[in-house]
Amino acid sequence: MRKFFVFCILFAVSSMVYAQSPAVEKGNALISMTGSISRLNGDLFSDNTTLSLGSDICLFGVKNVAVGGSFQYQRSSGDEYKYQRLGVGPTLGYFFSDINPNIIPYLSTGLLINTTNLDDNPEVIRTQGIASCGVILSTADHFGLNVKVSYRNILEESRRGTFALDVGITGMLY
């Protein structure tokens, strides 16, 4: 798994060298890698730590509108349970680029088809809906800091979803 993430980072960095026009124009692309760590404990929660890593690739079909794919990895361990989750699925996003070229707010939504391995039980496949809002802060011509808030909910379950704050880098291919 580590080799896969190293490959993704090297591919993103090497691809960004050839970019030439504004980030959210038709024909351009964004590659984002984000992560978060959360820890729950106290009176209301059992002791639990969750690591989440994600990668998104978005292609702009028209100005400000992108479609793409998402890959997510999540690992959680605590007093009561442990699980690993892998997910892949489509995404759709709208980017507000007319405000400031160095600050790009966005909204996105998508589905993840997850496979979950819970406490050594057989894998369970579920669909997870995701809605996100975030901002890309351009730090260089083709790189940006990506900060987003996501709401995730497993569609087959009636319980409430979870919120996550993810931070990462974005490569802008134009």
Helix, strand or coil for residue 9? helix
Kindly tell me if the per-residue pLDDT of 54 is higher than 50. yes
What residue segments make up the domains of the chain, in order of their start? 2-173
* 20 to 27, 29, 171, 173: CA distances (angstroms): 11, 11, 13, 8
Measure the CA–CA gap between 27 and 31, rounded to whole angstroms. Answer: 14
Q: For residue 43, what pLDDT is reported?
A: 59
**Among 13, 56, 18, 6, CA closest to 143:** 13
Whether the Cβ atoms of residue 87 and residue 128 lie closer than 8 Å to each other = yes
Q: For residue 58, what pLDDT is reported?
A: 93
Kindly tell me if the per-residue pLDDT of 160 is higher than 50. yes
Least confident of 20-34, 38-52, 118-132: 38-52
Which CATH code fits 2-173? 2.40.160.20
As a whole number, mean pLDDT of residues 16-45 equals 72
* 46 to 73, 77, 81, 114, 141: CA distances (angstroms): 22, 10, 10, 24, 44
Confidence at 139, pLDDT banded by 50, 70, 90: confident
Confidence at 137, pLDDT banded by 50, 70, 90: very high
Measure the CA–CA gap between 68 and 168, rounded to whole angstroms. Answer: 18
Measure the CA–CA gap between 137 and 118, rounded to whole angstroms. Answer: 37
C-alpha triplet 12, 52, 155: angle, nearest 5°:
110
Q: For residue 17, what pLDDT is reported?
A: 37
Task: Tell me the one-letter amino acid at 120.
Answer: D
pLDDT digits (tens, 9 = 90+) for 74-123: 888 877 778 888 999 999 999 998 777 788 999 999 999 988 887 767 67
Q: For residue 44, what pLDDT is reported?
A: 57
Measure the CA–CA gap between 96 and 14, rounded to whole angstroms. Answer: 26
State the average pLDDT for the chain. Answer: 81
